[in-house]
Structure 1
Amino acid sequence: MFRRLIEIVTIIVMSALIGFAFNMFLLPQEILSGGVSGIAMILGLRTPFNTGIIIFLLNIPILLLGYFRLGKRFIAYSLLSVGVTSISMQWIPVRGISDDPILSSIFGGVIVGIATGLIFRSGASTGGFDIIGMVVNQKKEFPLGGLIFGMNAIVVFISGFIFDWDRALYTMISIFASGKLIDSVHTRHVKLTLMIISNKGDAIKKKLLANFVRGITVIDAEGAYTSEKRNVLFTVITRYELEDVKRVIRETDPRAFVNITQTVDVMGYFRRN
């Protein structure tokens, strides 16, 4: 229950921060965010309608798609995120903090990227291309920020034709910064291989199998110096699971030796969700 509360608070605060970045850094310089938010910004700048309301309306069909593919709780959280962003953009004035479009695009992109990454980590999305990216990511894992960046290229071309190509390049800087920060915060695509050496291998194996849906391979080994019989356990986990796995190992055998390496790719069955 406490964890669920932390997730909801994080989503609300970060979604409001996205609205702040839009109204204080990007919109005053006519710099766009990516995806559906970028399209909404174009409509907001060219029509009398509030950008926040347009973001909410454009996200409705995409949220319905996500409802069938990503689950009820995920979509409920995402709807909360889109709603808070929309409301915050109506309350926060569109007033540029900086007159420099490069600084505005970088700082706006960084703030949006950090906030979006933390929203992803809380089990939600900011709607739009984020949901489409996550649906694609279920089938074939890519760094999510890079995947969203690729889909957002269309927004850059649209902004170039509607505004000017300088603004389009500033938009590209903003989207690139967001994508990099998303991948730095949202690390579910990163896989780690653990080699655990312990004389309590059976106890560690049982604890890991009870707490994580991960396969484990156990090999009998012998210490070269002590000639003691030990177990070597191999398993592959996501970056998200690392701290919990380390905690379980410490509780079971504080003297266990653990080698952690980043995995380039995984073939065969690997639970992605």
Structure 2
Amino acid sequence: MLRIVIIFLSSILLAIGYNWFLLPHKILSTGISGIAMMIGLLTPINTGIVNLLLNLPLFILGFLKLGKRLMTYTIFVVITNSIALILIPIQPLSTDPILSSVFGGVLVGVSSGLIFRFSASTGGFDIIGLLLTRKKDIPLGTLLFGMNAVIVFISGFLFSWDVALYTLLSIFITGKVIDAIHTRHLKLTLMIITNRGEEIREVLLSHSVRGITIVEGEGAYTKEKRKVLFMIITRHELGEVKRLITETDPRAFVNIMETVEVMGFFNKLKD
């Protein structure tokens, strides 16, 4: 219940960041939301309606490829955010575009970071990025940065290069705030010691694209045989993986370590 409440409030906060800080100055955000904002500024169609329509085909792909749980929360985020964009009036709280870029970026970053932290996403480019990184060994952060860079350049041609620079500033601040809250690009190594190794293996493989290595372990004091599972995940996946482990074996011992570097095909099953 707490997760739903936080995701709901974060989705509304996201809309406030758009309608009170960014849109009044034609400053765009990241991803599909940025494209929706652009269309909303150039046409009479409300940004919330465009945002929902652009995400609809991605919902279908996400359900097929990314799993029902993540996509259910993502659809809830997008629908809540789109309705809030329609209901909240577009009115500037500041006449200074730089201040609006900064505080708008902070609000978008805080709300997005909380949404990511509670195992959801804001849809759009997040879905595209996750789908592409499962097919190609491309860092998700690099991919999203490239797609967002296109939005910045388009905004420069359609509006002005001042607007493009304000957009770049807002996107940069949003990324930094998300990193501070969630650190989505961070890799983690999990060492799971459990009596239910096969059950945990099955449930993790059914909900994740990450490989798992299993070794036999023995308690130094009890001499009891146990399975030790090793897997590397992104920080974005940690909440869901912890939930799956706890539900399968509440007594499992899990050591979570930061990973400095990963070599090889991280995004593909190997073991």
What band does the TM-score fall into relative to the shorter chain? 0.7 to 0.9
Return the alpha-carbon distance in structure 1 between the equivalents of residues 214 and 185 of structure 2.
20
1:25 aligns with 2:21: yes
Return the alpha-carbon distance in structure 2 between the equivalents of residues 93 and 122 of structure 1.
28
1:10 aligns with 2:6: yes
Q: Deviations over 1:217-264 (max 9, x none)?
A: 457899xxxxxx9x9x78344342697889xxx9678xx9x7945241
Aligned to 1:201: none
Return the alpha-carbon distance in structure 2 between the equivalents of residues 10 and 259 of structure 1.
25
- Residues paired across the two proteins, number: 254
1:88 aligns with 2:84: yes
Q: Deviations over 1:54-104 (max 9, x none)?
A: 211222222222232223333332222111111111222212222222222
Aligned Cα root-mean-square deviation (Å): 3.9
Aligned to 2:60: 64
1:194 touches 1:260 (CA, 8 Å); kept in 2?
yes
Structure 1 residue aligned with 2:195, among 203, 206, 228? 206
1:176 aligns with 2:184: no
2:194 touches 2:251 (CA, 8 Å); kept in 1?
no
Structure 2 residue aligned with 1:45, among 32, 41, 44? 41
- Structure 1 portions without partners, runs of 5+: 197-203, 223-228
Structure 1 residue aligned with 2:259, among 262, 266, 271? 262
CA shift for structure 1 position 209 = 6.1
1:150 aligns with 2:146: yes
1:41 touches 1:51 (CA, 8 Å); kept in 2?
yes
SS at match of 1:152: helix
Change (3 A) 1:251 1:221: closer
Return the alpha-carbon distance in structure 2 between the equivalents of residues 86 and 8 of structure 1.
17
Aligned to 1:225: none
Aligned to 2:131: 135
Query: Identity over aligned residues, as a percent?
Result: 47
Letter of the structure 2 residue corresponding to residue 25 of structure 1: F
Aligned to 2:71: 75
1:53 touches 1:86 (CA, 8 Å); kept in 2?
yes
Return the alpha-carbon distance in structure 2 between the equivalents of residues 183 and 142 of structure 1.
19
Return the alpha-carbon distance in structure 1 between the equivalents of residues 261 and 57 of structure 2.
35
Return the alpha-carbon distance in structure 1 between the equivalents of residues 177 and 136 of structure 2.
21
TM-score by length of 1: 0.74
Q: Deviations over 1:135-191 (max 9, x none)?
A: 123345666454322211111111101110011011011122223333444446533
Q: Which stretch of structure 1 is more off in the superposition, 206-215 or 94-103?
A: 206-215
Return the alpha-carbon distance in structure 2 between the equivalents of residues 120 and 34 of structure 1.
15
Return the alpha-carbon distance in structure 2 between the equivalents of residues 22 and 50 of structure 1.
12
Q: Compare CA radii of gyration and give the structure with the larger one.
A: 1
SS at match of 2:195: helix
